Amino acid sequence: MTGQVTGLAPGRATITYTITEPTGTTTVLNTVIVSALTETAPSLTAANKSGDILLLPNPNTGGFTIKGSLATTDDANATLEVMDMLGQVIYKGSATARNGKLNEHIQLESTIANGMYILSLKAQGETSVFHFVVER
C-alpha cells in the first residue's frame, strides 16, 4: 500500500490509517514532520483574475497579514471570513484595497485553538481561499 502526503505548512501531523485483512483490522499511527523549504517567513499565495494575494506568515499565532495586488488600480472593497475546519465562522471583516493594493493585518481572538483554518477573501467578484495553521 502506498500513498502521498503533501505538507501545507511546517509542523508535525499524525496520520492514522486502518488496514483491514481477513484476519482482522489494524490501526496504524504515523507522525510526519514537515520542514520549511526556505529561511524566509512561509506564506500562501492565491493567484486568479483578482491578482496576486499573500497570507503571511504561515503558520502564525493568530495574527497574520493579507497583502498583494488586485487586478485593478481603483479602490476596491474586500470581505474576509475565517472558518475553522468544522465550517464555523470565527472571524468576519472587511478591508479596502487602495489603488488596487491590499495590506490588511488580521488578529484572531486569543481563545482559538491550535489547528488549521480557512480564510475566504472576496473582492471584485472573485474569491481566494487560503488554508493556514495557528500554532501558539
| pLDDT confidence of residue 66 | 93
Query: What does the pLDDT look like over 113-122, one tens digit per residue?
Result: 999 999 999 9
Q: How far apart are CA 104 and CA 109, in angstroms?
A: 16
* In the predicted structure, residue 49 carries a pLDDT above the cut 50: no
Reported as a pLDDT band with limits 50, 70 and 90, residue 53 is confident
Q: Report the pLDDT value the prediction gives residue 29, as an integer from 0 to 100.
A: 61
pLDDT higher than threshold 70 for residue 4: no
| CA-closest candidate to residue 58, choices 119, 4, 110 | 119
Q: Is the pLDDT score of 28 beyond 70?
A: no
| CA–CA separation, 98 and 77 (whole Å) | 9
How far is the C-alpha of 8 from the C-alpha of 42, rounded, in Å? 10
Look up the pTM and report it. Answer: 0.64
pLDDT, the chain, mean = 80
What are the chain's domains? Answer: 44-134 (2.60.40.3080)
Model confidence at 92: pLDDT above 50: yes
Over 50: is that where the pLDDT of 48 sits?
A: no
Give the Å distances, CA to CA, from 107 to 3, 51, 91, 132: 36, 24, 9, 13
